[in-house]
């Protein structure tokens, strides 16, 4: 009897080991796909290499194999997508993204997978490659695809409206601002060679950092002092106690105001999903820099524009 028990235990242990081994093998297989990187032919000029990679970057990726969306290492795929955007697409060239989304339309799982990759790289507020201009192509593909029904199109339609506002080179949406005195004014009525819209919340740590950078910037401070630049620091929220309490922390040379009726949010005039947010406008209120948190970028563009005047 003892022998039988020992034999059964041994069989169970062996079976358990084999099951564990099979399970581990399946788990390894489940993440077995690795992105196949493409290399351009040797001897190409830089421009030819760019064109080749833009066209052939995804040639070794099987868009027809829906299992790839399960097997792929998402971190690696995000890196591959980010590399494509940063090295071969550029910040405003929508056509390669449109072509990529057409290839991803081979199936619903594949399309959804590339929508996810694009959202993480091009639309996430913390992504260094965030680009509303490129993400427009992704949203347009979602709105147009027969893979979605009319209800599934509602979210991308909403986002498409939002990211299509205040595009670089276009006139910025006008809005009414209210000062602590109760006096109101309009963005488009501000007379200045340049305007910075600074959408912020004084209780936000990053906002405090951006405020400090703006104040410390020699380029921006001199442009404000000379009258070439106006800064509209607009508070978009409803809790005015917080705004009034922190008002003394902002330079008096700025237009420090709040959105009295929260019309920026209600009318979706600007994307408020993440603040702070900086816009640089020219004299005609055309957008030069859109939805940035990089004070250095504003300094560079402002200095470049002023030198051309």
Q: What does the buried/exposed string (b/e) look like for 238-261 if buried means 16 or more CB atoms within 10 Å of the residue's CB?
A: eeeeebeebbeebeeebbbbbbee
pTM above 0.85, yes or no: no
* pLDDT tens sequence for the chain (309 residues): 433 333 334 433 333 443 445 554 444 444 567 899 999 999 999 999 999 999 999 999 999 998 888 888 999 999 999 999 999 998 889 999 999 999 999 999 999 999 999 999 999 988 999 999 999 999 999 999 999 999 999 999 999 999 999 999 999 999 999 999 999 999 999 999 999 999 999 889 999 999 999 999 999 999 999 999 999 999 999 889 989 999 999 999 999 999 999 999 999 999 998 899 999 999 999 999 999 999 999 999 999 998 887
Note the pLDDT of residue 32: 65
Note the pLDDT of residue 90: 87
Nearest to 136 by CA among 175, 168, 173, 103: 168
Are the beta carbons of 217 and 299 closer than 8 angstroms?
A: yes
Note the pLDDT of residue 21: 54
**CATH number, domain 176-308:** 3.40.30.10
Note the pLDDT of residue 4: 36
Are the beta carbons of 259 and 175 closer than 8 angstroms?
A: yes
Note the pLDDT of residue 283: 96
Paired sense of beta strands 287-292 and 277-281, if any:
antiparallel
Task: For the chain, give the number of residues.
Answer: 309
């Amino acid at each position: 009897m003892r022998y039988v028990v020992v034999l059964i235990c041994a069989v169970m242990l062996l079976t358990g080991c084999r099951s564990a081994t099979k399970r581990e093998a399946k788990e390894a297989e489940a993440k077995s796909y690795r992105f196949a990187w493409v290399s351009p032919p040797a001897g190409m000029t830089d421009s030819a290499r760019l064109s080749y990679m833009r066209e052939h970057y995804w040639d070794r990726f099987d868009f027809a194999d829906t299992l790839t969306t399960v097997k792929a290492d998402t971190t690696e795929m995000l890196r591959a997508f980010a590399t494509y955007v940063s090295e071969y697409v550029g910040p405003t060239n929508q056509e390669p993204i449109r072509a990529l989304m057409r290839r991803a339309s081979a199936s619903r799982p594949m399309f959804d997978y590339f929508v996810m990759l694009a959202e993480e790289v091009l639309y996430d507020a913390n992504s260094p490659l965030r680009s509303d201009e490129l993400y427009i192509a992704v949203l347009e593909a979602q709105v147009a695809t027969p893979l979605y029904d009319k209800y599934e199109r509602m979210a991308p339609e909403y986002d498409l409206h939002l990211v299509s506002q205040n595009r670089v080179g276009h006139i910025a949406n006008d809005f009414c601002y209210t000062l602590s005195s109760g006096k109101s004014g309009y963005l488009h009525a501000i007379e200045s060679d340049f305007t910075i819209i600074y959408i912020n919340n004084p209780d936000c740590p990053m906002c405090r950092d951006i405020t400090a950078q703006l104040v410390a910037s020699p380029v921006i401070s001199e442009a404000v002092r000379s009258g070439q630049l106006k800064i509209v620091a607009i508070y978009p929220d409803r809790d005015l106690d917080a705004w009034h309490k922190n008002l003394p922390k902002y330079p008096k040379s700025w237009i420090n105001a709040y959105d009295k009726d929260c019309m920026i949010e209600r009318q979706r005039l600007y994307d408020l999903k993440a603040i702070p947010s900086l816009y640089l406008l020219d004299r005609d209120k055309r957008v030069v820099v859109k939805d940035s948190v990089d004070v250095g970028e504003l300094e560079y563009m402002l200095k470049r524009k002023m030198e051309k005047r």
